[in-house]
Structure 1
Amino acid sequence: MTQSRVRILSLAALVGAAALALSGCVDSGRTDNPDSEQGGASGECPVEVNEEVTTSARLAYQPIPNGDLVVRDLGWLEACMPNAEITWDQFSSGGEVVRAFGTDSVDVGLAGSSPTTKSLSPPISNDLQVIWIHDVIGEAESLVVQQNVDAGSLPELEGMRVAVPFASTAHYSLLAALDREGMTPSDVELINLSPDAMLAAWEREEIDAAWVWAPTLQQLLETGEIVLSAADTAEEAPTFDLAAATTAFVEENPDFMEVWTAVQNEAVTMINDDPDTAAASIAVQLGITPEEVLSQFDGYLYLSASEQSGEQYFGGTLGQNLIDTADFLVTQQEIDEVNPPEEYENAIYTDAIDAVAGQ
């Protein structure tokens, strides 16, 4: 099922004003990648500033082209909560973020729906709340085969070396695709590689295929071809890039959560209504060109707070999506057992999204 990007509909005057204001926040000529900095630009807060928030927040982000990178690049959290202490740490996959939650190293972090579900389930059982959907994953995560490998379908990869970051949404999509073909993980040689390690293994021809996301996906496509994508498995196994936070942090910092959600919503508005400005900002964070970012946007669906608060997501079926993911993961022996349904449903935090959606 191919996902198309959504254009957020709002009052024309508000959109025009927001686009004008936001476009002034990004210097499209910036080329530095501020991995060691809190943000690449000092942007003005796009929502109401809250000086009463004084908490310390440790944020885990990933190099994925979504609103989280806009927020980081423009320094919106720092501008909107000037008295908070905010630190950002980069991770290569959702599995790494889950481990960071397990060691109490982060408070809020981006992880895919599969690793998030795994984190909520035994034996890990982290006490987390799902707080935001950064994106719905489509063709942005795909299975790529080396050009010199004679395989045009998943069954033709039987016995071959397939790399994927374990406990990621890509891993979940691959398992779902194998299951749909009547295959098991043992029918291929699965190799656990993070995206940053995958490119070197690909160039040395140590792997035959890989299921991964941007920007590594685009690098592999220079000498590879797509066989499948998450869009092909979306009907039976939809995947998302989610934001999660520890339950303790959410309960202790409701004001922080509302501001965090509000600026994420502003970033989604920028991506959908002013993609050139958003791409310029994300390009700095990813170290690629804005044109490359724009091409990657089409592989994702970006949802506003009002869309996320509806019945299809936080207002209804998102909890069931986590349950369905857990049901599948237990059949693949990725988790020990599935929690009672209410434990997944109770892990959906709606207060901040509902507040922002109602503004």
Structure 2
Amino acid sequence: MKRLLALFMVMGLIVAACGNDDDDAPDAPAAPEATEAPEAPAPDDEMMLDELNVAYFLEWPTANQVAQARQTYDDALGVTVNWIPFASGGDMAQAMEAGDIDISYSQGLTPFANFVTGGSDLLLVGVAVSYADADNCVANPDLGINAANAAETLAGQSIYTPLGNVTHFKLLKMLEYLGVDTASVELIQSEGGPAAVAALDSGEVAMACAFGGAVNQMIANGGNLVMTGSEQEAIGIRVFDIISTTGTFAAEHPDVVTTFLQVTEDANVAYNDDREPFIDIIAGAAGMERAPTIALLDAFSFPERDVQLSQAWLGGTVQQVMKEQMDFFVAQGEIESALPSYDSFVDTSFLEAVEGRAKPDELNVAYFLEWPTANQVAQAEQTYDDVLGVTVNWIPFASGGDMAQAMESGDIDISYSQGLTPFANFVTGGSDLLLIGVAVSYADADNCVANPDLGITAANAAETLAGQSIYTPLGNVTHFKLLKMLEYLGVDTASVELIQSEGGPAAVAALDSGEVAMACAFGGAVNQMIANGGNLVMTGSEQEAIGIRVFDIISTTGDFADTYPSLLTGFLQVTEDANRAYNDNRDPFIDTIAGAAGMERAPTIALLDAFSFPEKDVQLSEAWLGGTVQQVMKDQMDFFVAQGEIASALPSYDSFVDISFLQAVN
């Protein structure tokens, strides 16, 4: 790889562009207090501090800047806290080594790992922010560079990038994944975000790498991402910043470190509950305007204490990420050697002493057996348990109505893949339920199958179904679809008898017995009835064409959501990560999903072929939680009223959908 080796070796892989060199943040406007300051630690045997020097980045908005601007840290610690802006994580490390900085907030993991590899007495005490989508490389729009052709289009080109930080690491990992010969590209050392924007605009580089507002600006100027943050995460690239200090400072002032983390935790909790009151004060502390602040915050997440202490973070993953990064730099010839382990540079004792948000001893989640879903990989591998820091019990149910009753009674905390119709039925009746996400869409996996001996078709259904019995669930989307289909086909619903289903196997048995003209079900039971000779009266696509949409949701109770909001966001984050991985390439996960669903491989694939798992941005669109889901509930309940199935519907179902938890997902 062509690069300035002499400079690179001198810098020791510590130069990392991040933020700018502005001396002072502008005065922050007044805003509501995020939290009350914890009581300052009483004097003890610790060496007393006159002041605390904290390194941070300007133009890098974070939840804790509310406490920074309101001097909550000063009040809690009983000392003056000086917030000193830095340009890079490497500079932060050097300043801690020199004793000029006591704590670094949002230092990059990569420069931290570089310095401890070189012998520095640094200690990682917390995770500051996760931001996969806010750190990336943007391609020159005139070159047509994309993931498919990068190996050819980047050969012989120049790339403008920071060196020795996570942006550099991400770039090298991405080039390796895309098959780009790194010896064929020239890396030009970045001088910061604005310089990256200027370099790409000049046309002199094929790609420029940066983070934060610079990435957004380059895209706004016409550049394109070669790989998205989600695609990079799918190949194992995680991007986050840390809270660090020196081993000496931590040993001499343990209460200061713990109290600093407590104030940070309180600020994160307040932000994660409702960030809106804090946007302006964060923008002021970051030295930014409101709009770009929001754009960055949309790409950030601020993990709370319990999440940080989980296996997915400080419980082992962060240490392993450091090891993988340093090993990768060794393989790339960037550094001579890595340490055998980075475990000793992570100390969770200070964070463990912090009072976090209340959480339950365990989490009870309702789901369906024989209903394969993308998130069952995380279920089977206990990723939910690791990330949430609680035992997650997955409890199988027979119907969405049963799920709703169990949530009402407090036996179930979250229902995964509950039918929309029973949810709407229960909230119409006064239940305190809340829809927080879309689980799965499956028009072709929920249907009614006709007795093969009766010759029932869409053309003759009005005559052939008259006086017959139909085996079906009641009060769920299958029931709704049946009634809508009968109405469309001109069948007099007063002329048919609806027999309440006792589940999929019972539906198969009922149709096989010849005692019913049609049986309605979902999942494997539909496939089995067709395999046994039954026929569909209308396909799922034909039903969608007349306005019947079929999907399941993720739900909880309003009370649980109020008490454990971060737990819900964590649950949705794990689900989102599983959906992304599945949607990128489902093949490695089929057997795991089949096992969790209690199915064989072939029928699992048959059902998954009829399923789709919408990711966060799709769910939040107008076609889903942006308005359509609420309207579908209203349409369904109004239809049941017209059919005489329920007495009345609500004027609106908007208040039963809360997208705030999903919006907080990365």
State the SS of the aligned residue for 2:52: strand
State the SS of the aligned residue for 1:346: helix
Whether contact under 8 Å (1:314, 1:348) holds in the other structure is: yes
Residue of structure 1 in register with 2:116 after alignment: 120
Q: In the TM superposition, what is the alpha-carbon distance from 1:86 to its structure 2 partner?
A: 2.2
After superposition, give the CA deviation of every residue in 1:96-138 in whole Å (9 maximum; x if it has no partner). 32333344432211321211111111xx321111111112221
After superposition, give the CA deviation of every residue in 1:258-291 in whole Å (9 maximum; x if it has no partner). 1110111122223322122232222113333333
Name the amino acid aligned to 1:106.
Answer: I
Q: In the TM superposition, what is the alpha-carbon distance from 1:293 to its structure 2 partner?
A: 2.3
Residue of structure 2 in register with 1:25 after alignment: none
Counterparts in 2 of 1:333 and 1:73: CA distance versus 1, 3 Å: farther
Residue of structure 1 in register with 2:66 after alignment: 70
Counterparts in 2 of 1:39 and 1:167: CA distance versus 1, 3 Å: farther
Matched, 1:186 2:183: yes
Matched, 1:40 2:28: yes
Whether contact under 8 Å (1:40, 1:75) holds in the other structure is: no
Distance of 1:38 and 1:246 partners within structure 2: 29
Matched, 1:255 2:255: yes
From 79, 84, 106, the equivalent of 1:89 is: 84
Matched, 1:146 2:140: yes
Tell which deviates more after alignment, 279-288 or 49-58.
Answer: 49-58
Counterparts in 2 of 1:70 and 1:337: CA distance versus 1, 3 Å: farther
Q: In the TM superposition, what is the alpha-carbon distance from 1:173 to its structure 2 partner?
A: 0.6
The number of aligned residues is: 321
Residue of structure 1 in register with 2:555 after alignment: none
Q: In the TM superposition, what is the alpha-carbon distance from 1:163 to its structure 2 partner?
A: 1.2
Residue of structure 2 in register with 1:334 after alignment: 334
Residue of structure 1 in register with 2:443 after alignment: none
Residue of structure 2 in register with 1:211 after alignment: 209
Distance of 1:38 and 1:245 partners within structure 2: 26
Counterparts in 2 of 1:152 and 1:316: CA distance versus 1, 3 Å: closer
Query: Which runs of structure 2 are paired with 1:1-359 in the superposition (5 Å)?
Result: 35-36=23-24, 40=28, 46-50=36-40, 52=42, 54-55=48-49, 56-63=51-58, 64-82=60-78, 84-109=79-104, 110-121=106-117, 124-153=118-147, 154-155=150-151, 156-193=153-190, 194-223=192-221, 224-234=223-233, 235-341=235-341, 344-357=342-355
Whether contact under 8 Å (1:144, 1:209) holds in the other structure is: yes
Distance of 1:38 and 1:296 partners within structure 2: 18
Whether contact under 8 Å (2:110, 2:165) holds in the other structure is: yes
Name the amino acid aligned to 2:208.
Answer: A
Counterparts in 2 of 1:106 and 1:93: CA distance versus 1, 3 Å: same
Tell which deviates more after alignment, 36-45 or 316-325.
Answer: 36-45
Distance of 1:270 and 1:215 partners within structure 2: 24
Name the amino acid aligned to 2:198.
Answer: A
Larger of the two Rg values belongs to structure? 2
After superposition, give the CA deviation of every residue in 1:226-279 in whole Å (9 maximum; x if it has no partner). 222443222423221111111111111111111110111122223322122232
Tell which deviates more after alignment, 38-47 or 157-166.
Answer: 38-47
Whether contact under 8 Å (1:131, 1:350) holds in the other structure is: yes
State the SS of the aligned residue for 1:101: helix
Distance of 1:178 and 1:219 partners within structure 2: 23
After superposition, give the CA deviation of every residue in 1:30-72 in whole Å (9 maximum; x if it has no partner). xxxx952697367866231206464232211113222343332
Q: In the TM superposition, what is the alpha-carbon distance from 1:357 to its structure 2 partner?
A: 4.4
> What is the percent sequence identity of the aligned residues?
22
Distance of 1:196 and 1:310 partners within structure 2: 36
State the SS of the aligned residue for 1:303: coil
TM-score calculated relative to the size of structure 1: 0.81
Residue of structure 1 in register with 2:637 after alignment: none
After superposition, give the CA deviation of every residue in 1:320-351 in whole Å (9 maximum; x if it has no partner). 2222222212112333211121xx10111111
Distance of 1:197 and 1:265 partners within structure 2: 34
Distance of 2:25 and 2:293 partners within structure 1: 21
Whether contact under 8 Å (1:112, 1:241) holds in the other structure is: yes
State the SS of the aligned residue for 2:230: coil
Distance of 1:151 and 1:211 partners within structure 2: 14
Distance of 1:271 and 1:160 partners within structure 2: 42
Whether contact under 8 Å (1:128, 1:247) holds in the other structure is: yes
State the SS of the aligned residue for 1:338: coil
Distance of 1:50 and 1:357 partners within structure 2: 15
State the SS of the aligned residue for 2:245: strand
Counterparts in 2 of 1:336 and 1:307: CA distance versus 1, 3 Å: same
Q: In the TM superposition, what is the alpha-carbon distance from 1:81 to its structure 2 partner?
A: 1.9
Distance of 1:131 and 1:150 partners within structure 2: 43
Distance of 2:29 and 2:354 partners within structure 1: 25
Name the amino acid aligned to 2:159.
Answer: V
After superposition, give the CA deviation of every residue in 1:198-242 in whole Å (9 maximum; x if it has no partner). 233334334332121112212222212222244322242322111
Distance of 2:95 and 2:145 partners within structure 1: 37
Whether contact under 8 Å (2:27, 2:284) holds in the other structure is: no
State the SS of the aligned residue for 1:228: coil
Tell which deviates more after alignment, 151-160 or 140-149.
Answer: 151-160
Whether contact under 8 Å (2:265, 2:356) holds in the other structure is: no
Name the amino acid aligned to 1:137.
Answer: Y
Q: In the TM superposition, what is the alpha-carbon distance from 1:85 to its structure 2 partner?
A: 3.4
Tell which deviates more after alignment, 170-179 or 276-285.
Answer: 276-285
Name the amino acid aligned to 1:94.
Answer: G
Tell which deviates more after alignment, 46-55 or 165-174.
Answer: 46-55
